[in-house]
Structure 1
Amino acid sequence: MSLQGFLDIVHGPLTQYLAISQQIGGDVAHHSTLVKRAFDAQAEFLKTASQCRQPGQNELLQYLKPTSNEIEGIQQFREKNRTSPFFNHLSAISESIPALGWVTVSPAPAPYVKEMNDAGQFYTNRVLKDWKEKDKKHVDWVKSWVQTLTELQAFVKQNHTTGLVWSKTGGSAPPPPPPGCPPPPPPTVDLTAGGDTSNDRSALFAQINQGADITKGLKKVSSEMQTHKNPALRQGPAPFKPVSTKPTYGNISAPTVVEKPPSFTRDGKKWLIEYQKGKHDLLVDGVEMNNVVYMFRCTDSTVTVKGKLNSIVLDSCKKTSVVFENLVSSVEFINCQSVQMQVLGKVPTISIDKTDGCQIYLSPESLEAEIVSSKSSEMNVLVPKGNGDYTEYPVPEQYKTVVVPGKGLNTSIIENKG
């Protein structure tokens, strides 16, 4: 019964999502094939669980590996296609696909599925905003994907309330299947190698697959290496680093940021500005209405954009500023720190996601701009007074939510009195 409930999701809203993805085509269609493989891998895993008793820890990790590999492939495809016109579609899936990791969550996996569904909402809202007036297929695409995860949450709550349920009457689980072929390479060139994925919840899910190898990297400390037993070591540098007090999982380490040479190129409609450091004279001129400026991992730099174009994106930038005249769509800040923007003409939308420190200088023509923020802090909007000076307003970061009987939730802003 449990397996049939999962297959109902696959044959229902997931099939609808796959069909609409193929209609949209491009990166969305390719991405959906990876999603289908992830759900197929989980279906096989649930089939094993419904027929067999729970195996040992090492064997269990091997059974989880196919699903984990597919999730990783889905997220890598997004990272390698950050300049895709369907980047918000790819991000919506990549941020929420770790919901399939519910099989490792206990004692309440259903709320975890909802949490992952909510994690993708920022990007599904962007898809709706960009496409609801252009093409209804994209609205149906969002509805089908959200419905897939909503039904997955209900399925988990009903059949696996406190964690994955294994058969109590079945036999021992058969040997894990050999690993399958890796996913096909994406059809586009990798422009953003070294992207930051440290915040992905699926990282933990992927790391548990190491099994017994998880301790191979640890070094045994003998009595000769211990400073409290060997006074001579106290006179010089410590021979080893003290163990961190922060919780760690296996041998997970912080990702190494790959230093790449700076680049400033134009690829068709896209202006790509990457890995710039200490450059304050960067100029983008001769833009067209359908052009996009994409800045990635720039540090302590300033970019001036002349003319009217579609949008500007700052991704993983630090201490970087952008000055522009007019935008048709939006300016977006993603995973940035201490960034600034100044609009001289008009901008309809300003989007801030996972960013700490963002100064927004508006022009008189942009006072009606919409500012959409998520998981961000230290945001300030500076409104011109008319005499060359600005009035600074902080964007709210703290909220209070109460339950209204019979109506749901009521959320209000808590003002900072400090």
Structure 2
Amino acid sequence: MAEACSAEKDPSLMCSLKVFKMAEMDGLMDRLEKAVIRLECVLSSSYSSNSADKNVVNGINGGVAPFVEAFDALMAGTLEEYLKNSKVIGGEVEAHAGMVENAFKAERAFLVFASQHQQPPQVEESLILKPISERILEVQLFREKNRGSQMFNHLSAISESVPALGWIAMSPKPGPYVKEMTDAATFYTNRVLKDYKSTDQHHVDWVKSYLNIWSELQAYIKEYHTTGVSWGNAIYSIPPTANGGTLLQKSSEPSCPPPPPPPPPPPCPPPMADFEASKAKDDISQDRSALFAQLNQGETITKGLRHVSDEQKTHKNPKLRSESGPSRSPTKSHTPSPTTPPAHQSYPPLLELEGKKWRVEYQEGSQGLVISETELKQVVYIFKCKKTTVQVKGKINSIIIDNCAKLGLVFDDVVGIVEVINSKNIEIQVLGKVPTISINKTDGCHVYLSENSIDCEIVSAKSSEMNILVPHDGDYKEFPVPEQFKTSWDGSKLVTEPAEMMG
């Protein structure tokens, strides 16, 4: 109290106290501002890291949709295991796996977009799906460019099944579509297992990890997208110049609301087809009304008929029969528009040894092709050859005939398998020995066995007109391979046997 009273009596002391308090307040403000700045920096860095790692939606931490998180788990689990096994094998398999990873990343971007927006119109949705389709095409083209690779079965397994990523466009049953694509892959993965099961475990692990991806994806779809992709609630308008990649990239970024769309154009006039259809419909209704009106006349309907004399009746006047021919209603001449057939893309014929694979490709009308310098570990791959004859001398590992027509094959000895796929009118003659001949999706295949190859196994699927010719008394005796089968239940299991030929 004494100090306060003295301060009131002394104006200079009062001024000093005010200056001291102002200085103290300024210091507190500076300290507070520095603390706020530090706090903002910490929050900003935390927000940036969370947004980058978790794709924060609308600035809310943990805003990623559950089905996006589940897809992330799939990529971090089975997909990562497949990538690791592909890296162990290396070469084309590793490069192919990188393309598959890019396809999955594109699909994840689509799922993020779907979680944040309503389903767009079909035209816009196809634009959004474009990045995924481009990645799938890249994977498939890689297989086509490396047909001579020793890892061709690996590449084919991927190429045949990667379209399963298109399940996002399948409704209402995306799950079965993935299974269908997976079944296409097993045809080639079984080959990989057969070639490496007893020699290299890495390839076996690779097959298991790859097939696990699609099994996990089917389970994922069943849980989150049973009847189709689960879309969000926000409406998204696609700019006319935007592309799918840009749209998916923007989907995880908060953006300002788009400008209002331009006013709709005036309605187009109805198409001529609709106009004619409506006119025809009106004519039919008018004719029907007239018919009912005549029927309602009852007996008076005959009053409108006029009398016809005998001279005007054709059955009583022969002249009328000779003069009048059958009347024909005029019909419009329908001249088909000339259509230009698509140009047939031709490739240069190929016959070369690439590594341990003999490549015989795009040969047409070539007779007497001979492969003589062979080794036990070599394989022969014959692709898209027509009206061609190929002879393989010596003992080799295997022979594959793919997409050929009117092809003749003569070979000495094969220690593995001779396989015919997607072909027509194939003739095969065995001079030595072969343990197995496989015929798949082929129409017309004649196999001439030698005395040493009588015990050869013939495995066929989805094929027709198959005949096996066995040596008999200096000639050949022909036996058709059954195409029809009869299956019955014996009380405990299904029993399948060839159906007897009728007639």
- With normalisation by structure 1, the TM-score equals 0.76
Matched, 1:417 2:501: yes
1:266-298 CA-to-partner distances (Å, cap 9, x unmatched) read 344333323322333222212122222222221
Residue in 2 that maps onto 1:359 = 446
Q: Matches of 1:255 and 1:345 in 2, distance apart?
A: 44
Alignment of 1:152-167 (within 5 A): 152-167=217-232
Identity of aligned residues (%): 46
Residue in 2 that maps onto 1:350 = 437
Alignment of 1:204-283 (within 5 A): 234=333, 237-240=335-338, 257-283=344-370
Residue in 1 that maps onto 2:128 = 63
1:307-348 CA-to-partner distances (Å, cap 9, x unmatched) read 112222222110101010011222222221111111111123
Alignment of 1:280-359 (within 5 A): 280-359=367-446
Alpha carbons of 1:256 and 1:12: their partners in 2 closer, same or farther (altered >3 Å)? farther
Alpha carbons of 1:292 and 1:48: their partners in 2 closer, same or farther (altered >3 Å)? same
Matched, 1:28 2:90: no
Alpha carbons of 1:350 and 1:151: their partners in 2 closer, same or farther (altered >3 Å)? same
Using the TM superposition, give the Cα deviation of residue 104 of structure 1 relative to its aligned residue in structure 2, in angstroms. Answer: 1.2
Aligned-partner residue type, residue 345 of structure 2: V
Residue in 1 that maps onto 2:176 = 111
Alpha carbons 2:148, 2:354 under 8 Å: kept: no
Aligned-partner residue type, residue 368 of structure 2: D
Aligned-partner residue type, residue 62 of structure 1: L
1:330-378 CA-to-partner distances (Å, cap 9, x unmatched) read 2222221111111111123323333222222222322343434344333
1:4 to 55, 66, 69: 69
Alpha carbons of 1:141 and 1:263: their partners in 2 closer, same or farther (altered >3 Å)? closer
Alpha carbons of 1:255 and 1:134: their partners in 2 closer, same or farther (altered >3 Å)? farther
Alpha carbons 1:53, 1:173 under 8 Å: kept: no
Matched, 1:94 2:159: yes
Aligned-partner residue type, residue 231 of structure 2: W
Matched, 1:128 2:215: no
Q: What is the DSSP-based 3-state SS (H/G/I as helix, E as strand, rest coil) of the residue aligned with 2:405?
A: coil
1:381-416 CA-to-partner distances (Å, cap 9, x unmatched) read 333346432241314465748799xx9x84734525
Residue in 2 that maps onto 1:250 = none
Q: What is the DSSP-based 3-state SS (H/G/I as helix, E as strand, rest coil) of the residue aligned with 1:417?
A: coil
Q: Matches of 1:24 and 1:399 in 2, distance apart?
A: 44
Q: Matches of 1:110 and 1:412 in 2, distance apart?
A: 30
Using the TM superposition, give the Cα deviation of residue 146 of structure 1 relative to its aligned residue in structure 2, in angstroms. Answer: 1.2
Using the TM superposition, give the Cα deviation of residue 173 of structure 1 relative to its aligned residue in structure 2, in angstroms. Answer: 6.4
Q: What value does the CA root-mean-square deviation take over the aligned residues?
A: 3.0
Alpha carbons 1:355, 1:375 under 8 Å: kept: yes
Q: What is the DSSP-based 3-state SS (H/G/I as helix, E as strand, rest coil) of the residue aligned with 2:428?
A: strand
Aligned-partner residue type, residue 236 of structure 2: S
Alpha carbons 2:482, 2:498 under 8 Å: kept: no
Alpha carbons 2:393, 2:412 under 8 Å: kept: yes
Matched, 1:147 2:231: no
Q: Matches of 2:485 and 2:235 in 1, distance apart?
A: 53
Q: Matches of 1:123 and 1:83 in 2, distance apart?
A: 16
Q: Matches of 1:333 and 1:321 in 2, distance apart?
A: 12
Note the residue ranges of structure 2 that are not aligned, 5 or more in a row: 1-65, 247-271, 274-329
Aligned-partner residue type, residue 496 of structure 2: S
1:18 to 77, 83, 92: 83
**As a proportion of its length, which structure holds more helix?**
2
Count of equivalent residues:
354
Matched, 1:369 2:434: no
Residue in 1 that maps onto 2:236 = 172
Alpha carbons 1:298, 1:316 under 8 Å: kept: yes
Alpha carbons 2:129, 2:244 under 8 Å: kept: no
Moved more, 329-338 or 395-404: 395-404
Q: What is the DSSP-based 3-state SS (H/G/I as helix, E as strand, rest coil) of the residue aligned with 1:83?
A: coil
- Structure ranking higher on relative contact order (CA contacts 8 Å, 6+ apart): 1
Q: What is the DSSP-based 3-state SS (H/G/I as helix, E as strand, rest coil) of the residue aligned with 1:283?
A: strand
Note the residue ranges of structure 1 that are not aligned, 5 or more in a row: 181-219, 222-230, 242-252
Alpha carbons 1:385, 1:391 under 8 Å: kept: no
Aligned-partner residue type, residue 123 of structure 2: N
Greater C-alpha radius of gyration: 2
1:44 to 86, 93, 109: 109
Q: Matches of 1:329 and 1:254 in 2, distance apart?
A: 42
Alpha carbons of 1:49 and 1:28: their partners in 2 closer, same or farther (altered >3 Å)? same
Residue in 1 that maps onto 2:142 = 77
Alpha carbons 2:465, 2:480 under 8 Å: kept: no
Alignment of 1:192-211 (within 5 A): none
Q: Matches of 1:402 and 1:6 in 2, distance apart?
A: 43
Alpha carbons 1:20, 1:140 under 8 Å: kept: yes
Aligned-partner residue type, residue 336 of structure 2: A
Q: Matches of 1:269 and 1:254 in 2, distance apart?
A: 39
Alpha carbons 1:380, 1:395 under 8 Å: kept: no
Aligned-partner residue type, residue 305 of structure 1: V
Using the TM superposition, give the Cα deviation of residue 36 of structure 1 relative to its aligned residue in structure 2, in angstroms. Answer: 0.6
Aligned-partner residue type, residue 123 of structure 1: Y
1:176-198 CA-to-partner distances (Å, cap 9, x unmatched) read 65549xxxxxxxxxxxxxxxxxx
Q: What is the DSSP-based 3-state SS (H/G/I as helix, E as strand, rest coil) of the residue aligned with 1:302?
A: strand
Q: What is the DSSP-based 3-state SS (H/G/I as helix, E as strand, rest coil) of the residue aligned with 2:333?
A: helix
Residue in 2 that maps onto 1:390 = 477
